[in-house]
Amino acid sequence: MTGCGCQFSTQTTGPVWHPDDKAIPTPTRPNGEKDIYRPDILEHIEATIKELDGELRELSLDIHSHPELKYEERYAHDALTAFMTKHGFEVTKHYHLETAWLATFAHGEGGRTIGVNSEMDALPGVGHACGHNLIAISGVGVAIAIQKALMKFNIAGKVALLGTPAEEGGSGKIILLEKGAYKEMSACLMCHPAPGPVGSVSLTSCLALERITVEYFGHTAHAALSPWEGKNALDAAVLGYNNISALRQQLLPTHRVHGIFEGKDWAPNIIPDYAKMICYVRAPTRAELQVTLKRVLPCFEAAGLATGCEVKINQEETGTHDLRQNLALGGEVANIITAKYGAIDYEYGIKSASTDFGNVTYALPSLHPGFAIPTIKDGGNHTPGFTKSAATMQAHYACLDITKALAATGMRVLIDDEFLAKVKKTFEEDSEVQSLLK
């Protein structure tokens, strides 16, 4: 990949970074600094992040120790908006959504706007097991580093940091996108921690996702005295689940279908008259997802037919799309990472997970690199092990490295007309391809 016109190693190899590893992040192009655009700006960004180190660490641990679920991120909302206010940003609290927020800083007259995202929410039972405390401080670090660079070099431009709630199952960014929160941005940047080789940054995509809720309505009866009088809604849900299991053999290995059951007032001696299945369907692209959905939905309908239950299928109005990583933005980040901090790969990151930032990448030029943090065996995202990993010093400094690269890339968007033209061109070319696949 050579989106920025520079040459670099495209893939790192090696085992997943473990907390006990003696290896440290090392640039794969140690002589590549000569290829960096405006090294003076990058040096200033590095100095700014170094100054912020302690504050960002404290903020990260504060958010980590106060995990909040989707649309309930009130503590994080207040902590982050207070932090950005202290650092001279104009802050809008409760921006379109109760726990969303916007922090902006503009310098000079005119200029472009670079967007950044900070996530804040945690997961039920396991807290910050996806490392959103790190995503939060990365967005903060990128925004402040750009703020300081705009002032230092007297560059006209604006940075807009969005605090985006409910990435975990709530699609907060999709709502913000629909409400116009991204409309002024020339490009938008963020990052995400995940397992991976030491010091690596991943430019993988992710899976498109659609959430489906299937409700089965039957009829109660005494399960021993007169079961023939009932229509078993739980049996319908189980059959739907088993139909999906049978379908999996005929699905591509890159596709995912998984879900859970829910019910109410269940008792062993009563035929359940209601059951609900919550199902996620995923595929590498939005177009492929639609093909797989056409095979999945009949599985639920057939289960209702077999049990005599009424079936109600609810689908999201807007699914979560795959990441369309902008090649020019990705090339710039890769050039900086390989010259200064580590390596690039296309195997790790959130390749087989999903994010609502995918919808943002369909709407405007955007980048969402993953960055490796040390993890224990079987301790990847959404596990208690990853919760602990997201609070380590190694994870903190890995987060700061990708933050520097994103800030430098954001600055180039603001000041380099030729680079921005390339960013826009790659976005338009990808949009044309996607339109043909609908």
Q: What is the pLDDT of residue 13?
A: 57
Q: What is the pLDDT of residue 6?
A: 40
Nearest to 243 by CA among 304, 312, 315: 304
Full-model pTM: 0.92
Token pair of 101 as six digits: 């927020």
Q: What is the pLDDT of residue 163?
A: 98
Token pair of 134 as six digits: 């790190």
Q: What is the pLDDT of residue 4?
A: 40
User: Residue 66 in contact with residue 76, Cβ under 8 Å?
Assistant: yes
CA angle 148, 153, 156 (to 5 degrees): 85
A 10 A CB-CB count for 82 gives 13
User: Residue 375 in contact with residue 1, Cβ under 8 Å?
Assistant: no
Digit-coded pLDDT (tens) for 327-364: 999 999 999 999 999 999 999 999 999 999 999 999 99
Which whole-number Å values give the CA distances from 246 to 17, 233, 242, 296, in the listed order? 36, 20, 6, 11
Residues in the chain where the model's pLDDT stays below 50: 1-10
Digit-coded pLDDT (tens) for 317-334: 778 999 999 999 999 999
